Structure 1
């Protein structure tokens, strides 16, 4: 009898568990039926997927680049291109004058205090000279020495071998965010500030083709402009450019009333001397923006910081003379306009993303490489992505970890917080779970409802 009673209890418990699971699944399916964010798309192509597969340079661009590099016969090209890549990646912001002065004053005060502790008979003038020399010596030793990059034809070819494919991949990935989410956007004009080899022109042409009727490339380096033109013509001066209506300038158009549908500055802010110059450049570019402003930098702490400074400038700073009253709003990658939570956590880590690409087929180059970059897209228009009631879109800021029947997602959420969400089919809707398994670092993830269980702070 006891065994029968025990068996009956076990069966009852199992029945209760099954019933609760069914209730949970029915609730999730009911929620799923009420919220349709897929818009008829399969889960692997849900509206938040903006990542691209391994990118390859357009055939015409790759052929022209190989021809130019072959003709140039640059000595030790593989080693020099590798060194230039490492140098550009490790490059930091120039130290601000005020910061340098504060550091010098602090160091001088510290040295004087140490000298006074000895209390010996010291010639004050001699001591002052010694301390001044020591301060200068210490500042020279510990301060990053920023110098502007000056490209001649040979260094331009080295840059082409080192950065053409990676730069194209980063810009193409950033532009795909606009192309995927704003289907109605068909730009007719483009401004590329700090155009370099013209990768922005090629990337925008890959996205929108012949809708672009005017493309203005601005770069202060004459040799780089010449190389960019040679790339467009397939390294044949007599040939017609592969992409037409491209105009090269060394200075920005003067009139503040001239606007472009798409304005891009890729790896350019890091070439400006200080915060003031970067702020002025960002405001100037924004004045010339009719729809979207795209900023791309290296995926380093400094690159991310420069983009966040630009974001704050556009969202908070008021200009004296306003020619276009439409306000700035962040389009990507941030799902909010609050302070960046990445900068609030210690140790600080950059918000960056990655894109796989095929490098130029040159000696010493790996076939496939990964470009790690940070980007910011600001728009004057209302967000084009249709807002589904009850759905928030968070940005995946780390690789998605798929496990058995659950997925680990680290996200930046619309409330301005970082979250570690464990997505399961039982706790969440089936659609949300399958979307999570189909998403990756850099994509947007639909959040149908806030789930307290399984949510952890990244600071833990």
Structure 2
């Protein structure tokens, strides 16, 4: 009996020690934010990190006007041309830099001359030089993307309307919703849209801040696109009043560098600029004109993502020679940090992209717009942002029995595949993870003991 009592006592002590150790480890690993810290009284399915939107529809006035313009234009084979343009824009790459082309040409020329000299024998130097020149040009055409600028006339503008307007509106609206939700005090009075096209940014911004916007300047070098955008505003009736007031169309940016706008946006425009140097200068000009927020949107491809990362690097680290507003740039979204994008360091670069479901101009089946975006701000972070460590979901969370698989980008600049459970991360964080979608943010505290960094990253799945 004494022996049994002694053994029972030892086992009980060990159990108590294990419970203490487990409790300490759980506290160290999970470190969940308390419910009062991040939910702000909201239910889990609408926690502050939720920025996704349900399936979006174009504003009724815009939808009716677009259908009227398309019907009156009588563009032949419009569905096929719209699909072809969509595929072309999605697969479009940046123009090759002149320095890269010259370097490749010199390398090829040296290689071909070396092979000719190794063969020996007598040869006509001029004939060989001409042959090598043709060979170099042929190889350059084969290996470099042939980039040409798009010139929109009225007909191509209508094709673009059928192909991209609804999806472009959805992407911009989704990005602007993040500003609206995370900074509810932001009430912009002025908007500048660079590369405005059909004016979808103005419509999306008006849907978010119709009560405060008093000046919307749309800049696009294409006169026919500006005309189409104005027709859309007037419901395809030149005698009608515009649905959105105080919209001004320009073909050039305002000259004065001191003129600023509360919100500056540029959607699917960087890809239309020929060189990296010109893109850098365009981004700096837009930043000079930004009083609060700058939004850049591009296709959710490697090219689109990398152009945005170039812009991000320019805004955070390049010294602008013309400075009228000394407030520094800080990344508002989607990155939860200002370190180099960790996706660029992966062996196989996968773009950081997001999606928004929307209803097309015609048809009853929703479609998905996959896009990349960057929001940079001059505003100071709200207290909430400083207190809570938010990580970005880079893929759809995969909910399983009592756990959720989450691919995250953390505030320390690391990617992580994290399995969220109620026992490790707290009931509130777990329920938020189950309610979140691709692109939302989760309130998690990074901990080295609970780390599973990604060294590879595949395309997000919808499972």
| Cα deviation, residue 311, structure 1 | 0.8
Whether contact under 8 Å (2:32, 2:429) holds in the other structure is no
What do residues 390-417 of structure 1 show as CA deviations (whole Å, max 9, x unaligned)?
x311111111111111111111111111
Pick closer, same or farther for the CA change 1:385–1:102 going to 2, 3 Å.
farther
Residue in 2 that maps onto 1:431: 428
| Cα deviation, residue 428, structure 1 | 1.2
Pick closer, same or farther for the CA change 1:17–1:35 going to 2, 3 Å.
farther
Distance (Å, rounded) in 1 between the aligned partners of 2:147 and 2:26: 61
Residue in 2 that maps onto 1:398: 395
Whether contact under 8 Å (1:257, 1:323) holds in the other structure is yes
State whether structure 2 residue 405 is matched by structure 1 residue 408. Answer: yes
Pick closer, same or farther for the CA change 1:368–1:445 going to 2, 3 Å.
same
| Cα deviation, residue 283, structure 1 | 0.7
SS at match of 1:331: strand
SS at match of 1:456: coil
Pick closer, same or farther for the CA change 1:27–1:100 going to 2, 3 Å.
closer
Residue in 1 that maps onto 2:439: 442
Pick closer, same or farther for the CA change 1:240–1:432 going to 2, 3 Å.
same
Residue in 1 that maps onto 2:47: 46
Distance (Å, rounded) in 2 between the aligned partners of 1:111 and 1:22: 69
Pick closer, same or farther for the CA change 1:357–1:25 going to 2, 3 Å.
farther
| Cα deviation, residue 211, structure 1 | 0.6
List runs of 5+ in structure 1 lacking aligned partners. none
State whether structure 2 residue 141 is matched by structure 1 residue 140. Answer: yes
Distance (Å, rounded) in 2 between the aligned partners of 1:199 and 1:13: 68
TM-score by length of 2: 0.92
State whether structure 2 residue 286 is matched by structure 1 residue 285. Answer: yes
Pick closer, same or farther for the CA change 1:426–1:25 going to 2, 3 Å.
farther
| Cα deviation, residue 432, structure 1 | 1.4
How many residue pairs match? The answer is 452
SS at match of 2:408: strand
232-241 vs 20-29, greater mean Cα deviation: 20-29
State whether structure 2 residue 387 is matched by structure 1 residue 386. Answer: no
Distance (Å, rounded) in 2 between the aligned partners of 1:223 and 1:448: 51
Pick closer, same or farther for the CA change 1:50–1:14 going to 2, 3 Å.
farther
Distance (Å, rounded) in 2 between the aligned partners of 1:132 and 1:329: 48
Distance (Å, rounded) in 1 between the aligned partners of 2:157 and 2:438: 32
Residue in 1 that maps onto 2:452: 455
Pick closer, same or farther for the CA change 1:30–1:286 going to 2, 3 Å.
closer
Residue in 2 that maps onto 1:174: 175
Whether contact under 8 Å (2:418, 2:451) holds in the other structure is yes
| Cα deviation, residue 128, structure 1 | 1.8
Whether contact under 8 Å (1:36, 1:388) holds in the other structure is no
Whether contact under 8 Å (2:262, 2:293) holds in the other structure is yes
Distance (Å, rounded) in 1 between the aligned partners of 2:31 and 2:294: 40
Residue in 2 that maps onto 1:193: 194
The equivalences for 1:33-112 within 5 A come to 33=34, 36-112=37-113
List runs of 5+ in structure 2 lacking aligned partners. 458-463
SS at match of 1:253: coil
| Cα deviation, residue 438, structure 1 | 1.2
Whether contact under 8 Å (1:24, 1:426) holds in the other structure is no
Whether contact under 8 Å (2:166, 2:360) holds in the other structure is yes
TM-score by length of 1: 0.92
